[in-house]
Structure formats: C-alpha cells, structure tokens
Chains A and B, each alone.
Chain A
Amino acid sequence: QQPVQSPQAVILREGEDAVINCSSSKALYSVHWYRQKHGEAPVFLMILLKGGEQKGHEKISASFNEKKQQSSLYLTASQLSYSGTYFCGTERRTSGTYKYIFGTGTRLKVLA
C-alpha cells in the first residue's frame, strides 16, 4: 500500500551525490518529496506532477516516471544540512477526494 523507498539509509561525505528512489504499486498522479530533520516537522521539498511539471527546490532535483510508477530524488554535492529523513508522498483517490500516502523513508547522513 505504501510506496517503498530505497535505500533505507545512506551515509555520504560532504560533496558526494546521492539518489533516493520511491516506487509505488499503484498509479501515481503526483509525487511529493519531504525532508525531516531530527526532532523537527517534515518540510516540503518539491512536487512532481503527471505530465512532467516540476515545482520546488532549486538545489535538489527529481524525476518522475509515470509508466514505471517511480520517482527518484537527486542530491548533488551534498551539504551537511542535507542530513535527515526523506519521504516521498503520493496522492491516492478516495471517495470524493484525495488522500496523501507517504513512503517508508530514507535516512541520509552527510559527514564532514
């Protein structure tokens, strides 16, 4: 039911790149990405809409493959501030409205 994220955890050094994947068993209309720092609320990074439109963060990019029902988040030249848990979220249609379902999360730690 929940989108599955991979990897579950990743450790990298400042300046290195990382890719986080999000895969759904159900059709995706849109994909959202959030980052949660320890002890804080999750914060919106970006949304990718069906049809290719992307809105969000200037230093982090993402792709959305509607056919494969997958999205990937690309963090290039990682900074210490990128550390946190990343969640992908999707909209699922329900009776009369849409609900937001989140993935299992990826813990990312950037070392100096």
Chain B
Amino acid sequence: DVKVTQSSRYLVKRTGEKVFLECVQDMDHENMFWYRQDPGLGLRLIYFSYDVKMKEKGDIPEGYSVSREKKERFSLILESASTNQTSMYLCASSLAGQGSGELFFGEGSRLTVL
C-alpha cells in the first residue's frame, strides 16, 4: 500500500522557535510538495521539489524553507515560527511529468504557534 508519512500529527511551538516538519514517501516518486490548509483558503502551495536537492517556490514561500537530501524525504522548515503560521500542513508526492496523475497525501501535521 502506497504511503506518505508525516512525522508529527500535532505540534505546539512558541513564537520564534525553529520548527521541522518531516515527510517520507515510499513510492519512489520524483515530485514532493508542501501545502498549508486554512479554512476558506483551500490548499496553498508553499514549496515543491521535483528531484533531490531541487526545489521551487510555490505561492506562499515566505517564512518557510525546505530540504530534500534524499529522494524519499522532504522537510519543511520554519526558521522562526510566528502565530500566523498556525495551520494544517500537508505533504504530497507524485510521479514526474505533466498529466501523470494523482498526488498522494500524508495525513497532515497540525501546527499551533503560541
């Protein structure tokens, strides 16, 4: 069974802390994505990666960075967490290529920044 696993389902952090969200996929997918989900705003793309060590900004990259040192792992980093980064974060992966089909999502990491 294909799987995208996010390391933490729930996190509570303080303003200014550095936060790491980890995502691992076991499908040998080239593409990996980080989205944040907020009520009324849908899923917004933060960053994505189409190969190891390759990354591209999505629509809302400010305040975030990413790392992809291995094909199966994609990390989202909040260098200095702020309260407006309280959200649900979803990781996804897919095969490369246009029209290649579905994204597989993890179950999400709900981050609260106090």
Contact = CB atoms under 8 A, between A and B. Distances in A.
Interface of A: 1-2, 5, 8, 29-30, 32, 34, 40-44, 47, 49, 55, 87, 89, 91, 93-105
8 contacts: A44-B103, A47-B99, A47-B101, A91-B99, A97-B31, A97-B56, A100-B45, A102-B44
B90 A42 contact: yes
Interface string B23-48: 00000000101010000111111001
Contacts of B41: 104
A1 to B, nearest CB: 6
Interface in B44-66: 44-45, 48, 50, 56, 58-59
Looking at chain B's contact residues, is the secondary structure mostly helix, strand, loop, or mixed? strand
A2 B102 contact: no
A35 B101 CA distance: 15
B114 to A, nearest CB: 22
B56 A41 contact: no
Nearest to A91: B98
Contacts of A29: 98-99
A99 B45 contact: yes
A51 to B, nearest CB: 10
A41 B108 contact: yes
B56 to A, nearest CB: 6
B39 to A, nearest CB: 9
Contact of B44 (A2, A32, A93): A2
B75 interface: no
B107 interface: yes
A47 to B, nearest CB: 6
A99 B44 CA distance: 11
B45 A101 contact: yes
Given A30-B98, A32-B102, A99-B48, A105 B42 contact: yes
